[in-house]
Amino acid sequence: MEDPEPEPKLVLVFSGKRKSGKDYVTDLIHSRLGPDVCCILRLSGPLKQQYAQEHGLDLDQLLGPGLYKEQFRADMILWGETRRRHDPGFFCRLATRGARQPVWVVSDARRLSDLRWFFSEFPRQTRSVRVQSSETTRTQRGWSFTTGVDDAESECGLDSGVEFDWIITNEADAPSLEEQLQPILKLAEEAASSSSSSSL
């Protein structure tokens, strides 16, 4: 019989609006901690994989940061919501399958059901992190308001009702990301080096 999968020691669940810098910030954490300690998990990964297959699309482009995915975003949101209605943990389970590093960085929680799934599966290890940027900054990074996307649960589902453990302000005139991420990196390093998975 196969060994049971090891539990993570820390699960950092990130959320934030489009172009707030979720990928940028989580990539920075990944590069600081290294691939043996930390993995990035994207809930949109299995969603895009399945959606691309069913619709004959280019998965690499759908996963990339370019404009390609934006053509399909509104429809992918609806498609994913149908799946989630039947099983709210569907994409969370697929995205975490096989992850073996002690620190998991989930880069794209969007809904309360995503956060609830991690808090229920890993209550001691889960922490929530919000990445925020002003609309001006997001616009400079290529964002423009799209009806059916920016006013939908996918973008607004975590606007209220959550007390984040950390809020990272990803702006040129905010304290540096290095500085803001210090407590998170410290916790991750402690968690990774602790011998027991039962406590942080």
Ligand X SMILES: C[C@@](O)(CCOP(=O)(O)OP(=O)(O)O)CC(=O)O
Known binding residues are: 17-23, 141, 170, 180
Binding status of residue 73 toward ligand X by CB under 6 A: yes
Cα separation, 200 vs 194, in Å, equals 8
Residue 105 vs 187, nearer CB to ligand X? 105
CB 51 within 8 A of CB 79: yes
CA 9 to chain centre: 17
- Residues within window 13-52 making contact with ligand X, judged by CB under 6 A: 18, 22-23, 44, 47
Phi first, then psi: give them for residue 38, nearest 5 degrees: -130, 140
Closest by alpha carbon to 100, among 4, 6, 199, 167? 6
By a kind-dependent CB cut-off of 5 to 8 A, residue 47 interacts, out of ligand ADP, ligand X, none, with ligand X
Closest by alpha carbon to 171, among 139, 129, 146, 128? 139
- Residues within window 136-175 making contact with ligand ADP, judged by CB under 6 A: 141, 170
Residue 96 vs 170, nearer CB to ligand ADP? 170
Please state the residue numbers annotated as binding site for ATP. Answer: 17-23, 141, 180
Residue 134 vs 197, nearer CB to ligand ADP? 134
The DSSP annotation for 122-182 comes to STTTEEEEEEE--HHHHHHTT----TTTTTSHHHHTTSSS---SEEEE--TTSSPHHHHHH
By a kind-dependent CB cut-off of 5 to 8 A, residue 8 interacts, out of ligand ADP, ligand X, none, with none
Residue 53 vs 193, nearer CB to ligand X? 53
By a kind-dependent CB cut-off of 5 to 8 A, residue 12 interacts, out of ligand ADP, ligand X, none, with none
Work out how close the CB of 142 gets to ligand ADP at its nearest, in angstroms, rounded to a whole number: 7
CB 133 within 8 A of CB 169: yes
By a kind-dependent CB cut-off of 5 to 8 A, residue 126 interacts, out of ligand X, ligand ADP, none, with none
